[in-house]
Amino acid sequence: MRKILHADCDCFYAAVEMRDDPRLRDVPLAIGGSAERRGVVATCNYPARRYGIRSAMPTAHALRLCPGLTVLPPDFPRYRAVSEQIQAIFHELTPLVEPLSLDEAFLDVSGVTRFKGSATWMARWIKQEAIRRTGITVSVGVAPSKFLAKIASDWDKPDGLHVITPEEVDTFVASLPVNRLHGVGPANAAKLEAMNIRTCTDLRQWPLDKLLERFGKFGHRLYGLARGIDERPVKVERERKSVSAENTFHQDLPDLDACRAALPALIARLDERLDRHGRPRVRGLFVKVRFNDFTLTTLEYAGWQPDPARFLLLLEEAWARGARPVRLLGVGVRLATPDSTRQLELFGESN
């Protein structure tokens, strides 16, 4: 039986700021871009959350909810330094660490013999060492699978420790809302709601063939997760799937001509990033457009060269879907996986 931990720093960016300036501890605090530059909230502390402020919310809206909100710009070098200290703690326990971001990671501790092999004691040690060495509180979930460990880490936040034993999995999952399942976003959650499926118990009533009919191959995933099955391993090295460049504009781009004018600079930034990544093999191109009503559209093309002419065609077609002012524009490439690279070589294509 696997033993998986999910460690998640509580409101990480804000926690670093509060640690370094104790005057910020009890006031509503958000880390993000300024309202004047149309920024968004990256994270916020718990006093701010009581006002309904959350990550990815426009800073201007957050200030309307809480006029006294303190907004600080992110200091990523400082956050990375703290993250490296916390990641070092994880690696003292096990080499099987899968970082998800600066502030969270999965750990597979199945083979760890320290602490008499108790994953619960390991989780307590991580929490104690993190606060002792960095002053940052970490919530930890313990479970036999990744998706349950991630849910468990959020169960008793902040400064939480929640354990789901193998014997508790079936009962715990049965009452779980389906929108907590890994991979269930707003679109699938709405589809499940339309089917009167609200909990995993409801989901278990649907046979696999019907889920495949409604959700395609994701039906397999839903069928397994509803029964607590998640065999995904902890991956020490994460595979990069795309490289992109995007910009949120201080003022909306009013029309297609303005979008066309902004495209070359984005393509140049993308080209620089591809150089930094050693010119990886590409299997597709995409353009992302977010309109001023916050609707988002992405258009893709299966190509092997980041061709400016193709990006322009994608932009024109994507813009036509909304035909309104644009607040964000992005370009990017999908990277070839090992399987797709073998297929390219089979058919004689080169990057």
Q: Which residues fall in the annotated binding site for Mg(2+)?
A: 8, 103
Which amino acid is present at 134?
T
Catalytic, 104? Answer yes
Annotated binding-site ranges:
8, 103
Which amino acid is present at 45?
N
Give the 3-state secondary structure of residue 74: coil
Give the 3-state secondary structure of residue 331: strand
CB contact set of 195 (below 8 Å; sequence gap of 6+): 206, 214
CA 119/CA 75 separation, integer angstroms: 33
Whether the Cβ atoms of residue 44 and residue 54 lie closer than 8 Å to each other: yes
* Mutual angle of helices 119-134 and 76-93, in 10-degree steps: 140
Give the 3-state secondary structure of residue 84: helix
Whether the Cβ atoms of residue 181 and residue 225 lie closer than 8 Å to each other: yes
Q: Which of 104, 129, 193, 345 is catalytic?
A: 104
**What are the catalytic residues?**
104
